Structure formats: structure tokens, C-alpha cells
Chains A and B, each alone.
Chain A
């Protein structure tokens, strides 16, 4: 790491990890059911999504929705309500399956047949840093051509490999890339 980012925020800088910003943006682009899982409409919609076909049901079971078919049937018929733990499981499974399903299309749109997507990197917020310690960190843009690793690790929910993939990407920014490990926002369209 070329910059001293180990103790980030010690002097008052504010920001989030670049990879987290990327994951946030990808989640936004993936969309999904907006109603919270705690509302009946919300968990019902998620359950319908997860039980649409044997394949999605299998994926949901792999993602941690380990309940019997009897229970699922009772939920879907409205005879019983999932418990709080099970609501969390449903939500978790929904997000995993949804990400997995969307990833393929998202990847295609981001790669754009090798032309890639323009990414805006908004630098960290130094407004709370004492004046003598502030550094000039500019707003940067870059074109990212290969999204396979980024989207792949995001779809798998693997934060570490997403972070590694994003770092390997921002190295292209040049010798200052370490300044962009923490950012306020990463923006791109798909």
C-alpha cells in the first residue's frame, strides 16, 4: 500500500472502502423487492421468488433457507408466519439468489463487449481533517473493461476477493492509486 491507510480516519478523514462502494452500487443496480422482509407483502414476495422453480428452491436451500417443504407450504398458504430468525434467513437467501441471477446480465452490460464502463471515483471527505494534514485528492474517472472478477465475487458475497479485485483494478489509476482505497462514492451505470 503506497499510502498510510492502515489506521484510516485517525485524523478525521471520512469515507468507505472502495470495494464497499462498488458493492453498494452493484446492489443498487441489481434492484429487487423494495418492501421490507418484515411486512407480509415483503416476505411473501421473496418466498414466491425463491420457490418459482426447483432450481431456485435448490439455490435458496444452498443459501441457508433450510426448512422443510411442509413449512414452506404453510408459509405460502398463509397458515403460518415465519419466525424472526427465519425472516432473516429468507432475506439472506433472497439476496444471495437474486445477486446470483442478476450477475450474468449485469456483467454483460458492464463489460459491453469489451468496451467497458466508465467509473467515477469520488475521493474521501477531508472536511474534518486539520488544515496542515489535508492533501489534494482529486476526483478521478477510469474505464474498467474487465468486470468478471468484481461481479463474480460480489455475486458470491465474498468481500475479501471483491476488495482484492477492486484494488487490482484501481492500480490503473497510476502511482496515486493508494489515495483511492477509501472513497465517498464510486459511480457507474449499467
Chain B
């Protein structure tokens, strides 16, 4: 049941933004309540300077805006009641009478309805009704509730199409409420069948483990999506390790967690890094084609999740010198990179390397270089391998783990389930970032895998850039793990969507030969 709560609260969050009074009124309200910026900022979880920004005309957005609106609303009602009851000893608070009229429209923008009872408060942020649990826009004697019985329905009846007549100032959540219990259970059973392609999957697979964790967390926090998400993200690392164990049940190879590690893979200082070069792309095209262009910044979905499929060395890395590359082994290699002559149109596959000379690269980068030097592409000379630390490799070690996470992710996107989405994201990204020498995950000590997976993500991005280039798009920028800027009709090259094989648009901007002007959300 609880994942429907998650959906409901998500739906609640979508809607018009909370109304905020103008900046000087916000400051006045706070000062009249004798609250310092630091106090308010702490309560809202922002920095005091952010708060002063808001009081000087900037506007918060999203969830924090709702919180801020709630706070201002509360202050306003408090101060308003204080002035009416105390009959204002005029000398003490001269500000009050002058500012009250400016502030009142905030809390009650629509007094058209008949609230004759004097302790009826209007809520900017609807709270669950104490009687039926659906969001109510009014509070009576401290309890949020609906004013008319028509609005207030117990959950067993048919879901009302519109719970409240939405007042003009009501910011959020006038969406039709959840379907009642009976449809829920039927839908839940439909879903538990899982994806149809896994016809012979055992009932309690790894995907169920993820779902149970999410449901458990939601139940524990009473359907509070934010709290549940935070709790799940916090336990993402141990859960990912548990999931890994689960997916390796009956598998051919052991996950060897603490092998001997060569010195090149050890951190040299506490905060330093080791000697491996991960070939992170950081490239912007020097000269654009003439004229003005519409550039689209594409975002590769779940880059690290896809990169879990790479050739991972199984056992201890063994040293070897100047041998030809063995496709059945994987590890790190000391190479002299080939010259790269296509810098004008495509990034260097080994990334922005400033220092010349040999460097330690990982298997995915080496395979990329070998592929590019092969007969099909012939983009560069083959790299020269000097030394290697390799071990027998398999691409399938994390495959079940990856599929489980991908399935959970796909289902979560389909159902709009942000909790699972965040949880899955935290699981794979934290799994990758802590599998090396991290104190947050001591159960797995494989810096080699960490480097290999990251390099695989970079190599995947590079290959996407090559694909775009081959299809006639102009690649403008390849950045980090998942950012690709192209000019041209990219939709015929990449599918748009949220799946791991698809790309999504980050923003678009126009740029010309001399001036660049951003029209999107910014970088």
C-alpha cells in the first residue's frame, strides 16, 4: 500500500507553487516575530545568506518554497491574532497596524467562503484532514479538517474527483486523491507478477528485495516520502552489498572482496589519488561551424548503472610486461597513448591529459583505443602497452545485480515512484564510489573495479560522441560521465526517454560564432 502513498504525495507536490508575499513583507514578518535570520534559516535548512536573498526579492523554489510559505503563513496568523486580542498598546508596536493590511492577503486571499467560526484558519499548505486523511485547506481549533461533509469522505467511498473547490491562492495538491483500498490491492497483485519477460523468475528475487525495502521504509515513516527517501539513501551501501550477495547466489565466480592490491592502485596520501588515469572526458570544441546554432545538451541516463557491465578482473591482479593484449583478461595497463589528430571534432579518448608520457589506464579505455585503432575506425595508432596488472575477467559478474537495479528503476519510472528511483540511484552510485578504499564500505575493497566501472562510463559516453559524429551531428562538448552537447537533429540518432538506453535533454541554448547566449536553465 505504501508505494501508493508515495505516488500520492508526489502528485500532491505537483501543482502551482506556493504564493509568497513580496520580499519586504517577508522581512517584516520575521522581524515582528523577533526571529533572527539564523534561527529561521536553521529551521528551514538553508543558510542565512540564502534567507536574506529571499528577503531581498529572490524566490525559493520547490519543496523549500512550500516550507517557507508555511512559515510565513504561520507567522502572519500568529501576529494577526496577537494584535486583535491585545488591543495593541500602540506605543509598543507601531509597525503592526500599518503592515497588517499588507500581510493579510497572504493568508486569506479568498474570503468568499463562509468561515463564520473565528478560529478557522486557512492553510497555504494543505494538511491531512483529521477525519478522512485527505488534504484539507482549513484548520479549525488547531486541527486540519474539511468544513463541509461533502468534502470530507472516508476512504471506503468512491474517490472524489475534486476534494476541495480550489481557492485561488491554494498552492498545491488539488489533484484528485488516491483510489481507495480495493483497486490498490488489485493493482499491487498485477505488479507483483513482475516484468513478463522473466517468466521463470523465482518469487523472491532481487527486485522484490528492493521493493520490500522501499515498502518497509515507507511504512516505518508513515508514508512520509522525504523521510523514507532519506532513510533509504542512508542505508543504500549495505543494501547494495546485500543485493550483490543475493544476485551471486549459485553463481560461478566468487566476488573476491579483499585481494592483494598493487601499489599503483593504492592511494599515495590520505587525500590524494592513486596512479590510475580514468580518462574522464572534459572537452569542448574549439571552433564551431560558422553561423548560429541551436545546441542541445543531452544527458545519458544511468551512466554508472550501464557501466556495471564491463570486463571485471576476478582474482588477484598479476603483473606482466610487454605482452599483447589478452581479451580474456582485464586490469590496468601502463601504455604510451597514441597521437590524437581529431581534437577539432572529437574528444581524445584518453581525456584531457596535460602531462605527456606513459600512463596507467584501465581496461575499458585500452579496449576503446584498440577498437579505434582497428581496421573499422582507423582513427589512431594502436597504443603501446608496457606493463599490465591483469586477472582473468568476466563481463557477467555484476550482470544480475545491474539487471535487478535496472528493472527496479524502469518500474519506478513507469509508476512515478520517486522513492524507489532515488534509492536505486543511491545504491548503484554509492556502490561504485565506495567499492575502493572507502571507510563507508569495508566489505568490498576493489579500487580496480571502481576505476574500471568509471572508465567504462566514460568510454560509453565517448562512443556516443563518436556515434553522433558519424551520423553527421556536430559534437560541441563531452563532459564528465553523462553530458553530451550536440548541434543538429539528434532525435534520429538517439532515442529520447528515461530508460538507460535513451537520452534526455538537459537544456538547449543557441550559440554563434562570436556570442553565446543561454536560453535554458543554465549550465
Q: Does B256 contact A (CB under 8 A)?
A: yes
Q: Does B442 contact A (CB under 8 A)?
A: yes
Instruction: Find the B residue at minimum CB distance from A123.
Output: B316
Q: Does B258 contact A (CB under 8 A)?
A: yes
Taking a contact as CB atoms under 8 Å apart, the answer to whether B316 and A189 are in contact is no
Residues of A bordering B, CB below 8 Å: 25, 29, 31, 34, 120, 122, 127, 139, 141, 184-190
In the complex, chain B residues 322-377 whose Cβ is within 8 Å of any chain A Cβ: none
Given A25, A31, A122, A188, which contacts B259 in the complex, CB threshold below 8 Å? A122
Given the complex, which residues of A lie within 8 Å of B258, measured CB to CB? 25, 120, 122, 185-189
Taking a contact as CB atoms under 8 Å apart, the answer to whether B445 and A187 are in contact is yes
Instruction: Find the A residue at minimum CB distance from B316.
Output: A122
Taking a contact as CB atoms under 8 Å apart, the answer to whether B442 and A139 are in contact is no
Given the complex, which residues of A lie within 8 Å of B270, measured CB to CB? 34
Query: Provided the pairs A34-B270, A127-B318, A184-B316 are in contact, do residues A190 and B442 lie with their beta carbons within 8 angstroms?
Result: yes
Q: What separation, in Å, do the CA atoms of A31 and B270 have in the docked complex?
A: 12
Can you give 25 contacting A-B residue pairs, CB < 8 Å? A31-B439, A34-B270, A120-B257, A122-B256, A122-B258, A122-B259, A122-B260, A127-B318, A127-B319, A139-B254, A139-B256, A139-B315, A139-B316, A141-B254, A184-B260, A185-B258, A185-B259, A186-B258, A187-B257, A187-B259, A189-B257, A189-B258, A189-B442, A189-B443, A189-B445
Instruction: Find the B residue at minimum CB distance from A187.
Output: B258
Q: What separation, in Å, do the CA atoms of A184 and B319 have in the docked complex?
A: 14
Given the complex, which residues of B lie within 8 Å of A139, measured CB to CB? 254, 256, 315-316
Smallest CB separation, A141 vs chain B (Å)? 7
Q: What separation, in Å, do the CA atoms of A25 and B445 have in the docked complex?
A: 12
Q: State the 10 A-B residue pairs at the shortest beta-carbon distance, nearest first.
A: A187-B258, A189-B442, A185-B260, A189-B443, A184-B260, A34-B270, A120-B258, A122-B260, A122-B259, A122-B316
Instruction: Find the B residue at minimum CB distance from A127.
Output: B318
Smallest CB separation, B154 vs chain A (Å)? 46
Q: What separation, in Å, do the CA atoms of A129 and B71 have in the docked complex?
A: 74
Q: What separation, in Å, do the CA atoms of A34 and B445 have in the docked complex?
A: 20
Smallest CB separation, B270 vs chain A (Å)? 5
Most buried by B among A29, A34, A122: A122
Given the complex, which residues of B lie within 8 Å of A190, measured CB to CB? 442
Given the complex, which residues of A lie within 8 Å of B439, measured CB to CB? 31
Smallest CB separation, B393 vs chain A (Å)? 16
Q: What separation, in Å, do the CA atoms of A189 and B318 have in the docked complex?
A: 23
Instruction: Find the B residue at minimum CB distance from A29.
Output: B442
Smallest CB separation, A13 vs chain B (Å)? 14
Given the complex, which residues of A lie within 8 Å of B257, measured CB to CB? 120, 187, 189
Contact digits for B137-149, partner A, Cβ 8 Å, 1 yes 0 no: 0000000000000
Given the complex, which residues of A lie within 8 Å of B442, measured CB to CB? 29, 189-190
In the complex, chain B residues 427-467 whose Cβ is within 8 Å of any chain A Cβ: 439, 442-443, 445
Q: What separation, in Å, do the CA atoms of A163 and B254 have in the docked complex?
A: 28
Given the complex, which residues of A lie within 8 Å of B260, measured CB to CB? 122, 184-185
Smallest CB separation, B242 vs chain A (Å)? 13
Q: What separation, in Å, do the CA atoms of A190 and B316 have in the docked complex?
A: 22
Q: What separation, in Å, do the CA atoms of A120 and B319 have in the docked complex?
A: 21
Q: What separation, in Å, do the CA atoms of A139 and B319 have in the docked complex?
A: 18
Given the complex, which residues of B lie within 8 Å of A29, measured CB to CB? 442
Instruction: Find the A residue at minimum CB distance from B269.
Output: A34
Q: What separation, in Å, do the CA atoms of A127 and B318 have in the docked complex?
A: 9
Q: What separation, in Å, do the CA atoms of A188 and B259 have in the docked complex?
A: 10
Given the complex, which residues of B lie within 8 Å of A189, measured CB to CB? 257-258, 442-443, 445
In the complex, chain B residues 11-40 whose Cβ is within 8 Å of any chain A Cβ: none
Q: What separation, in Å, do the CA atoms of A189 and B440 have in the docked complex?
A: 11
Q: What separation, in Å, do the CA atoms of A190 and B445 have in the docked complex?
A: 12
Q: What separation, in Å, do the CA atoms of A31 and B315 have in the docked complex?
A: 26
Instruction: Find the B residue at minimum CB distance from A190.
Output: B442
Given the complex, which residues of B lie within 8 Å of A185, measured CB to CB? 258-260
Smallest CB separation, B296 vs chain A (Å)? 45
Instruction: Find the B residue at minimum CB distance from A34.
Output: B270
Q: What separation, in Å, do the CA atoms of A120 and B446 have in the docked complex?
A: 14
Smallest CB separation, A182 vs chain B (Å)? 13
Contact digits for B291-315, partner A, Cβ 8 Å, 1 yes 0 no: 0000000000000000000000001
Smallest CB separation, A177 vs chain B (Å)? 19
Given the complex, which residues of A lie within 8 Å of B316, measured CB to CB? 122, 139, 184
Q: What separation, in Å, do the CA atoms of A31 and B254 have in the docked complex?
A: 28
15 extra interchain contacts, Cβ-Cβ under 8 A, other than A139-B315, A188-B258, A189-B445? A25-B258, A29-B442, A31-B439, A34-B270, A122-B259, A122-B260, A122-B316, A139-B254, A139-B316, A184-B260, A184-B316, A186-B258, A187-B445, A189-B257, A190-B442
Given the complex, which residues of A lie within 8 Å of B259, measured CB to CB? 120, 122, 185, 187
Given the complex, which residues of A lie within 8 Å of B318, measured CB to CB? 127
Smallest CB separation, A137 vs chain B (Å)? 12
Q: What separation, in Å, do the CA atoms of A139 and B256 have in the docked complex?
A: 9
Smallest CB separation, A109 vs chain B (Å)? 10
